[in-house]
Each structure stands twice: as C-alpha cells, then as structure tokens.
Amino acid sequence: MDKILTFDCYGTLINTKPISDTISNIAKMNGLNSKDAVNIYVNYEDRLMYGEPYIPYDKLIKQVLEYCDMELNSDIFGKSYDEIISVHKELKPFKEVIETLKEIHKKGYQLALMSNSVHDIMNYHLDVLGNVFDNVFLAEDIHAYKPQLKFFKYVEEKLELKGKEHCHIAKGYWWDIVPCSKLGWRKIWVNRNYKKGNKCQEPYQEVHTLDEVLNLI
C-alpha cells in the first residue's frame, strides 16, 4: 500500500513568529500599542479568510494592513505591505524540521503540503525546506482556506487517500485537526505550545516537535 503524509506548513514546519514581531515593531516605532496591533492583524486575517469570498493570501494581507490602519487610526501599516510580504518570504523552518523531513522521506513516504498560501510566497518556503514535497496544495489553487472541508476533500480526491496509508501532520488545531476528524483522517497534532486538546477530535496522536513524529510513523 502506498504511504503518504500530508503536512500543514505555517507553525508546523515554518516559524511564523517574525510576522507578529514585525507588526509589533512597526506599532512600537510609531507610538502605538504593539499587542493591540498584533491582535488586530490576526483577527482581520481570520475575518477576511472566512467571512468573504476567496481572496488570494497576498492580496488578503494588503487588506488586513489597511484594517490595522483603520482600527489604530494610523497610516503606517498599509505603507509596510512590501516589508510584510518580504518577511513572509524570508520565514525559516523550526530547527528540527529539515532533518526530520529527510528522515521521513528515507522511510519511503510520499510527502504533500497543504497550506493557506499562494505560490509566489510558498516557492520560497519550498526552497528552504529542501524541495522534498511530491505534491503541494495551496488555497490559491483550490479557492478555499483550511479548515473548509472543500480543501481537504480536494486533496483526498487528488491523492486517492482512501486507498493509501495516510496521516496528516499539523500544528493548527482548528484549521487542521478538526477537519481531519470530520473526514476520518488519521492525524498527528504538533502541539508546540502545549495546549489542551479537545476530546471531540480524538483519536489523534500528539507531539511537541516535528522530530517526535519519527516514532509514530
């Protein structure tokens, strides 16, 4: 039987902390509350992903920054769009990720990536991850953001997962673990922040860093 692992990207493989750090720094440098700025950014990112028809992620970021200016009565965040996009493109993997992906590949698994991103940004991440993925599925292609089941069903059909030994590996609980439960996918939660899970989504396996996955596959 074919063996395949699907992965979330942001927070699972790629560390996104530099994004919130940049938003925070922009606010501080302009005398604004940095915590408020980060919260507004995160909240509007979610609102635009799930409260509107599909918007490509790079264009969504531009709108999010405009809402930051609106909420904070400023004009600085919209002007920082190019900087924020550059930060996205320069994000790096967590320290254990690259070697772990190599080890997993050696075990004979096909690797697929599922991300709420666009190719213009994701291409940079694929390079830094060593171009190990056999398939890449982005919101840009499917016109749906995780956790919409449309995204997961699309991948399930394209990879014919029902006939394969498959597991989904992700940090995002609401974005990944919940929809996997709805579809009956095996899943491993990369609980980097040591949060408490929800029994409604059990069974799932839990690790705190990606290299611990090697003991479960």
pLDDT, one tens digit per residue, over 138-195 is 999 999 999 999 999 999 999 999 989 999 999 999 999 999 999 999 999 999 999 9
Q: Is the pLDDT of residue 18 over 70?
A: yes
What distance in Å separates the CA atoms of residue 101 and residue 6, rounded to the nearest whole number? 12
pTM > 0.85: yes
pLDDT of residue 163: 84
DSSP annotation of 39:
H
pLDDT of residue 2: 87
Contacts 24+ apart (CB under 8 A), 21-30: 22/80, 22/83, 22/84, 22/87, 23/68, 23/77, 23/84, 26/76, 26/77, 26/80, 26/83, 27/72, 30/74, 30/76
Least confident range of 31-40, 44-53, 87-96: 44-53
Q: 126: phi > 0 → left, psi -120 to 50 → alpha, else beta; which?
A: alpha
Q: Is the pLDDT of residue 4 over 70?
A: yes
Q: In which residue are the tokens 């666009």 written?
A: 118
Express each pLDDT in 61-95 by its tens digit: 999 999 999 999 999 999 999 999 999 999 999 99
What is the percent of the chain with per-residue pLDDT over 90, rounded to a whole number?
95
**C-beta of residue 45 within 8 angstroms of C-beta of residue 108:** no
pLDDT of residue 155: 98
Burial (CB count within 10 angstroms: exposed 0-12, middle 13-18, buried 19+), residue 106:
exposed
Query: Rounded mean pLDDT of the chain?
Result: 96
Question: Sorting pLDDT into bands at 50, 70 and 90, what band is 17?
Answer: very high
